[in-house]
Amino acid sequence: MNIRGIRVLLLCLIPVLISACSSLPNVNESEPEPEVERNVYTNLPGSNGEIIAVKIDDTNAAHPQQGVEFADIVFVTQVEAGLTRLMGIYSSNYPEVIGPVRSARISDLEILAQFGRVGFLYSGAQSKLRPVIAQSNLVNLSAERNPPTIYFNDPSRTPPYAMMVKPNLLLEKSESLAVAQSVGWSHGEISDKGKRIESVEINWPNAQYQAHWSKGEKLFLLKHNGKENFSSTGVALGSNMMVIQKIEITPSEYGDKFGGITPKNHVVGQGEAFLLRDGRVIKALWSRETASSQTKWTLLDGTEAKFADGQVWFFLTDQEPEFTYQASKRPTAGNNP
């Protein structure tokens, strides 16, 4: 074949080669990554599983608590004698053991109503409250209905601060529990109206929490009654999303066996709140029409108040928090004031 014939052949083959190459897979094109499921409460990677709520002792004798760091939400509420208790909401991580577990209170029902048919884990309840719990939209998963293989006393703790629970065993036998879904807040960027703070004190008649901003960990780390707040595994308790919710606290018709009146923490209505995130505090407003309604969170200008990603702590109190603000940086030579 002469040179001219070779050129003609190559010209004929070029379109074929181009077509063949274009049909080959592009090795540089990566498959799209599957979308990661995020928990609706924390916006962290995790499932939106069945919801359980666990009542946890919060007295000095109950510390260090076990399993609190795995909760998606933690409520701090006032009980008799001006002390506090915790209620952990779990839907994405269920630790092997949680506790020390304590008894139910009337305020728990109103707090939990917004979450739907929740599995409620607690040590017991006074006889007057039991029919009210039975009539509520909760699944009774208490120690009153479950054996010591699930609720047990930790030998390293002293009763009544020793009862612990294995939540996964209860989940295996429970049916028709609600799964995590929004109860009123969404996540987003921080408002530019926030003020930088170093710490805040949150008080009740006989209990105190302090939250200190850690620049290194980018978290508000907690102290309980003046002591660093660690879990039983040594994890420092804290978060980048904390809410001080100002509520009304009034005496209820219930009381403890020592004659103490049980306070009612009112979370239906409206009031002020302080959102702690990213080293700042932002004043906000909350409103909730009914017990089964979601809670709305707005800034003072009426726009939606956005939450940061992470475990959410709610401190329910009727006392004004005490903030320590960061000192303003003084302008240096060459900088505008």
As a whole number of angstroms, the distance between CA 122 and CA 139 comes to: 11
Q: Look at residue 30 in the predicted model and tell me its pLDDT.
A: 63
- Beta strand ranges found along 122-204 (DSSP E): 138-140, 151-153, 163-165, 195-204
Tokens of 130: 């039991």
State the residue range of the domain holding 123.
52-173
**Are residues 147 and 57 located together in one domain of the fold?**
yes
Is residue 10 over pLDDT 50?
no
Domain shared by 163 and 73, yes or no? yes
What is the Cβ-side half-sphere exposure of residue 19, based on CA atoms within 13 angstroms?
Answer: 5
CATH number at residue 76: 3.50.90.10
Same domain, 151 and 221: no
Given a contact cutoff of 8 angstroms between Cβ atoms, the answer to whether 305 and 298 are in contact is yes
One domain, residues 91 and 207: no
Is 203 found in the same domain as 273? yes
pLDDT band at residue 17 under the 50/70/90 scheme: very low
Same domain, 203 and 237: yes
Say whether both 126 and 205 belong to one domain: no
Among residues 101, 59, 65, the alpha carbon closest in space to that of 78 is found at: 59
pLDDT for residue 29 = 57
Looking at 136-150, 268-282, 316-330, which range is the least confident one? 316-330
Q: What pLDDT does 329 receive?
A: 55
Please report where in the chains the tokens 């703790």 appear, as a residue. Answer: 157
Query: How much is the pTM?
Result: 0.88
